[in-house]
């Protein structure tokens, strides 16, 4: 096969609603931000020039920012900088698309060789760019409305019909679709009538140079955690979908069963409100109070979102990382935690069933009942032999998720998309 780098020189990535420069855990920034920037960096190391188009959210942002060697982030002005929710962004698609096309028009003809869009809003713009530039469109959904609506958290808002229609249009327009897991691929085919031959499963990666084992005693000292503490960590956006409340309710149940554990238990919640969680940003703190988990002898610590290197330290400091989400297309936090050698207790949903190997790198919990979660947490806490086995398995499981492998396979998908487009033209 001809080397991918000879066939692909420049790539346009579209990440409309969230910038790869944003801090994960704040607002809409999360695993997709990490995915976009890490994939772009690895592609650039392969000699591909990557331009990432995203919506400007501040007048202080430079029009073009070099995020890494070979990676430019282009800020597009579309709508007000602040106060625009994700549900209001469809009204800015036209302006955003116009500015993306205008930026490309300022370059020599044939400047980009392919478009890779992320999330359905970006896919709408990517479909227009595909037809205008005559280059293939590769799309990654990251999350899907039909899947989210089938597994809504209590108090969460269903995704609107307009999003479902938009996703269906993107699926039909894309030359190739990248799914994070086999389950996501099946959902694209069964729920969105995607052509199976145009869906490729590529696992996201983990930066194994950042997420790696640390000396637990040292990082606990640095983070102000007692060396002998039982540390149950939640890391992610605070919203119903991610279900941090499930962990708190499980911890309350655990303390009812084992009251003596309170003196050693620490439950850090690392992240900020997002999505429907923005409507009641104080609700998790209120729940903590209602459950008796704060106060002078409280166990819950709320920690603002942190950079990747610091998140790695929090994961390494933890006894386990809890991922109780109602749905995850992949579950990047679980993969990152395992790469530090920390076991994961996760909901048996979506991509988490791929990322976490039940009984080997962590435990999968069916449902979201506090008693079931308390039982799983207690197993890892009290069974030293199990915990050590899971720590070893976590490292082993994480090795299969590397961004370099993700980039290599994505390059192959770009090549297939270009071949398919040539076939359709000839």
- pLDDT per residue over 198-214, tens digit each? 999 999 999 999 999 99
Residue 327 is labelled as binding a ligand: no
Residue 24 is labelled as binding a ligand: yes
Residue 30 is labelled as binding a ligand: yes
- 0.75 exceeded by pTM: yes
Whether residue 362 has pLDDT greater than 50: yes
Whether residue 124 has pLDDT greater than 50: yes
Residue 28 is labelled as binding a ligand: yes
DSSP SS3 for 335: helix
Residue 406 is labelled as binding a ligand: no
Residue 23 is labelled as binding a ligand: yes
Positive or negative, the Cα torsion across 333, 335, 336, 337? positive
Are 159 and 145 a contacting pair, CB within 8 Å?
Answer: yes
Are 72 and 50 a contacting pair, CB within 8 Å?
Answer: yes
The two tokens of residue 183 are: 């389950």
What pLDDT does 283 receive?
A: 87
Residue 143 is labelled as binding a ligand: yes
Q: Which of 154-163, 233-242, 317-326, 360-369 has the lowest mean pLDDT?
A: 154-163
The two tokens of residue 131 are: 């037809």
Per the prediction, the chain carries an average pLDDT of 92
**First-to-last C-alpha distance (Å) of the chain:** 21
pLDDT band at 295 (very low <50, low <70, confident <90, very high): confident
Residue 319 is labelled as binding a ligand: no
Residue 27 is labelled as binding a ligand: no
Residue 148 is labelled as binding a ligand: no
Residue 321 is labelled as binding a ligand: no
Provide the pairing of β-strand 137-140 with 230-235: unpaired
What pLDDT does 219 receive?
A: 98
What pLDDT does 154 receive?
A: 75
d(C-alpha 34, C-alpha 348), whole Å: 23
Residue 33 is labelled as binding a ligand: yes
pLDDT band at 276 (very low <50, low <70, confident <90, very high): very low
d(C-alpha 164, C-alpha 62), whole Å: 34
Residue 181 is labelled as binding a ligand: no
Residue 31 is labelled as binding a ligand: yes
What pLDDT does 296 receive?
A: 79
Residue 242 is labelled as binding a ligand: yes
d(C-alpha 341, C-alpha 361), whole Å: 9
For each of the domains in the chain, give its residue range(s) and CATH number, in order of start: 4-205+402-425 (3.40.50.2000), 216-398 (3.40.50.2000)
What pLDDT does 425 receive?
A: 63
Residue 163 is labelled as binding a ligand: yes
**pLDDT tens digit string along 44-69?**
999 999 999 999 988 889 999 999 99
The mean per-residue pLDDT over the stretch 233-257 comes to: 95
């Amino acid at each position: 096969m001809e080397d991918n780098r000879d066939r692909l020189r420049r790539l346009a990535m579209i990440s409309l609603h969230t910038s790869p420069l944003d801090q994960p855990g704040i607002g809409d920034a999360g695993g997709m931000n990490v995915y976009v920037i890490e994939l772009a960096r690895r592609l650039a190391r392969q000699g591909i020039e990557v331009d990432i188009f995203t919506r400007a959210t501040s007048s202080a942002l430079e029009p073009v920012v070099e995020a890494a060697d070979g990676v430019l982030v282009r800020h597009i002005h579309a709508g007000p900088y602040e106060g625009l929710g994700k549900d209001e962004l469809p009204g800015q698609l036209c302006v955003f698309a116009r500015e993306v096309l205008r930026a490309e028009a300022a370059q020599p003809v044939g400047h980009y060789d392919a478009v890779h869009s992320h999330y359905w809003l970006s896919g709408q713009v990517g479909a227009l760019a595909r037809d205008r530039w005559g280059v293939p469109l590769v799309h990654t959904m990251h999350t899907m409305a039909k899947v989210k609506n089938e597994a809504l958290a209590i108090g969460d808002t269903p995704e609107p019909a307009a999003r479902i229609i938009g996703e269906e249009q993107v699926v039909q327009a894309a030359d190739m679709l990248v799914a994070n897991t086999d389950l996501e691929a099946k959902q694209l085919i069964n729920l969105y009538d995607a052509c199976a031959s145009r869906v490729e499963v590529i696992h996201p990666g983990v930066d194994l140079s950042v997420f790696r084992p640390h000396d637990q005693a040292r990082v606990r000292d640095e983070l102000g955690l007692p060396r002998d503490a039982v540390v149950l960590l939640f890391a992610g956006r605070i919203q119903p979908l991610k279900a941090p409340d499930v962990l708190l309710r499980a911890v309350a149940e655990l303390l009812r069963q084992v009251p003596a554990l309170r003196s050693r238990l620490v439950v850090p919640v690392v992240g900020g409100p997002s999505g429907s969680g923005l409507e009641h940003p104080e609700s998790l703190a209120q729940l903590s109070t209602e459950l008796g988990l704060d106060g002078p002898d409280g166990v819950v610590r709320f920690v603002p979102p942190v950079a990747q290197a610091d998140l790695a330290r929090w994961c390494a400091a933890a006894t386990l990382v809890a991922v109780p989400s109602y749905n995850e297309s992949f579950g990047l936090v679980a993969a990152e935690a395992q790469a530090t050698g920390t076991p994961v207790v996760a909901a048996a949903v979506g991509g988490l069933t791929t990322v976490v190997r039940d009984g080997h790198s962590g435990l999968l919990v069916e449902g979201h009942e506090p008693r079931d979660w308390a039982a799983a947490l207690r197993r890892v806490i009290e069974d030293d032999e199990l915990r050590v086995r899971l720590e070893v398995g976590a490292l082993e499981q994480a090795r299969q998720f590397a961004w370099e492998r993700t980039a290599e396979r994505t390059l192959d998908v770009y090549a297939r998309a270009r071949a398919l487009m040539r076939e359709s033209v000839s």
